[in-house]
Amino acid sequence: METGTRPAVSIVTPVYKAKEFIVNTMDSVRSQSFEDWELLLVDDASPDDSAEVIETYLKRTGDTRIRLIRMPENSGAATARNLAVEQARGRYIAYMDADDLWESQKLTRQIAFMKEKQAAFSFTGYEFADEEGRGMGIIVRVPETLNYKQALKNTTIFTSTVMFDTDRISKDKLVMPLIKSEDTALWWSILRGGYIAYGLNENLVRYRRSASTLSSDKIEAVRRIWNLYRYEGLSIPASAWNFCFWGFRAVMRRL
């Protein structure tokens, strides 16, 4: 991609306490068979050396497709992602967490899939990985489509697999709310507006699970999903109904 030209894909990545993983993550993006992208790394005032690690990497590789954006103070992943989306120049917006990894065909396959389906919103299958990024053989399969009511029962849409086409859905609809599990709240908001999420049932992402990640705290995960139902304005019976389906599928994804 030449400087000044619009990339096809903008990859949005908040960075916080990611110095151990971010080089591998950047490597997996640079290894994509689809090369017309920009990677927006938003340092959310991380207390470790994440920003310095990124700057060293940029000097070493000279890859101008990667941009480091520094937040003046820690504001959370939602604010970091919203800032990146605001500055994104690509037609497609792809989300990636700072400790996850993409298979080399991820962008190629997903963009082709979205064009085929004329989809505004897509997500893919993924595999759980250990702290070293090695696949654990636990692969999450995804449905062909999800609407709003289905998504309330099935939170299989994983952040690092999501892509939006801003020619079909405007960027102002991609603002994440400032709550916990802001990513799922955004997916539900989009689907509530009448969009359909299309699932590409291929394992294209490795979801790194480390002991230090919020996602690994099962009690916190339960609390967050319940609060999300209440944030959606669901009644207690409706929340409980959807929660039961969520719990069952959450367990099955890890078997």
Domain with residue 245: its CATH number is: 3.90.550.10
In a domain, 177, yes or no: yes
**What is the per-residue burial (b if ≥16 Cβ within 10 Å, else e) of 53-77?**
bbeebbeeeeeebbbbbebeeebbb
Do residues 148 and 229 touch, judged by C-beta distance below 8 A? no
Q: How many CB atoms lie within 10 A of CB 38?
A: 22
**Residue 2 domain flag:** no
Please tell me the total count of domains within the chain: 1
pLDDT score for 133: 83
Tokens for 163, please give them: 């892509």
Is residue 118 one of the residues assigned to a domain?
Answer: yes
Q: Which helix (H) or strand (E) holds 222?
A: helix 218-231
The answer to whether 251 and 156 have CB atoms below 8 angstroms apart is: no
Q: What is the pLDDT of residue 209?
A: 79
Residue 235 within any structural domain of the chain: yes
Examine residue 3 and state whether it is found in any structural domain, yes or no. Answer: no
Task: Kindly tell me the sign of the dihedral angle through the C-alpha atoms of 201, 203, 204, 209.
Answer: positive
The bridge status of strand 163-165 relative to strand 101-102 is unpaired
Asked whether residue 78 is domain-assigned, the answer is: yes
Question: According to the model, what pLDDT value does residue 242 have?
Answer: 75
Q: What is the pLDDT along the chain (255 residues), one digit of tens a residue?
A: 444 588 999 999 999 999 999 999 999 999 999 999 999 999 999 999 999 999 999 999 999 999 999 999 999 999 999 999 999 999 999 999 999 999 999 999 999 999 999 999 999 999 999 888 888 888 999 999 999 999 998 878 999 999 999 999 999 999 999 988 899 999 999 999 999 999 999 999 999 876 554 344 667 778 778 778 888 888 888 888 777 877 766 666 555
Q: Is residue 130 part of a domain?
A: yes
Domain extent at residue 22: 9-253
Beta bridge partners of 146: 197
* 4 within some domain: no
Predicted pLDDT of residue 136: 86
